[in-house]
Amino acid sequence: MKLRRVVVTGLGALTPIGNTVPEYWNSLLNGVSGAVTITRFDTSKFKTKFACELKGYNSLDYFERKEARKYDPFAQYALVSANEAIIDAGLDTFNFDPDRVGVIWGSGIGGLETFLKEVLDFARGDGTPRFSPFFIPKMIADIAAGHISIKYGFRGPNFTTTSACASAANALVDSFNYIRLGKADIFVSGGSEAAINEAGIGGFNALTAISVRNDDPKTASRPFDKDRDGFVLGEGGGAMVFEALDHALARGAKIYAEVIGGGLSADAYHMTGPHPEGLGARNVMKYTLEDAGIQPEEVDHINTHGTSTPLGDIAEPKAIIALFGDHAQKISVNSTKSMTGHLLGAAGAAEAIATVLAIKNDIVPPTINHFTDDPEIPMLDFTFHKAKKRTINVAMSNTFGFGGHNACIAFRKYTE
């Protein structure tokens, strides 16, 4: 069968450096750090006292009070970012076929805030089970996709991908495949996460996965820097509207970029650490190139996973050099996590949005907070310090998750 071409027609973002796509993009280009001292809870006994929180977010700006109580923050972030993408794509005014519009959403954890609150309330009580009737519906990771479909009447395929930090990218790859196989015309896809709470910070501290640079939070996320000491926890949501090209053209939709390939792989190596030679990362990029039908030399830009962890920041550049060879030095590489922190299950969507906007505007956002080269990291064009203007025809976005899950998606500048 002939596969349908797929394009991006809508974007939505709720991030620690901007609550809309224009705000987010502007902050990326200006190298703004989203790291701040945590305001949600008392961190005096925690090793890490900062995170990339949302700024100026008030649920009542988006939901009625009674409605807001039914949603865990991760589901709120999903609905807010999805709404921006839907409006951006013009679906709010288009008479679409509801049976041909689906939702695939990613979340690595789901309703952690709800789970924490309900269990703490029970533990502090007299043993009588007084759980909220919304406890389970608010907590389960699939509920965000369900809420989006219910709100807009989308009756196409609907589910959630959970592959840790690769979850949103996994959702995007699945959406791309469903459309090109003819299973739907449109997908609202992306991811959301809300893990900045006692359990999230405490859990990642126990893993020694997050930075403890409490004296200087804004420079704590240091991808590819010698003195990196872990990622900075972030939160938020990112949404994209993927659409069959013929359908988008028929309704006169604006097009940001074309989706040309996606890949999935596993490290099959370690519960939390990457393969030391980046084998899974190399494979997922290789599969993406093959799926897109392009050569390594055609890639201009890679938005890396680039978390600022000691092992991950070595393995990924090794994978890029192993796959791309001499051309690796011509690729503009960056890590937007240096600014947003790590949005966990939402990271793949937020970073794919940045990748698409890089193509659309021919500019690569910077990797901030670089101070000292690490001799163990193969040197690439990491776009340190400042955004870089250059022609970008093809770009890729990498995301890797605990459990060895890897997802990559490739985009190309749209041409007829």
Active site residues: 165, 305, 342
Among positive and negative, which fits the CA dihedral 93, 96, 98, 100?
A: negative
**365 secondary structure, DSSP code:** P
Is the separation of the CB atoms in 308 and 231 below 8 Å? yes
The DSSP code sequence of 315-331 is HHHHHHHHHHGGGGGGS
- For residue 25, which of 383, 367, 355 has the smallest C-alpha distance? 355
Question: How far is it, in rounded angstroms, from Cα 409 to Cα 176?
Answer: 9
CA distances from 136 to 80, 81, 122 (A): 21, 23, 14
Torsion angle, CA of 79/82/88/93, rounded to 10 degrees? Answer: -70
Neighbours of 262 (CB within 10 A): 25
Residue the block writes with tokens 């064009």:
381
Question: How far is it, in rounded angstroms, from Cα 363 to Cα 382?
Answer: 13
- Helix-helix angle 112-124:198-206, to 10 degrees: 100
**224 secondary structure, DSSP code:** T
Strands (E), 85-139: 101-106
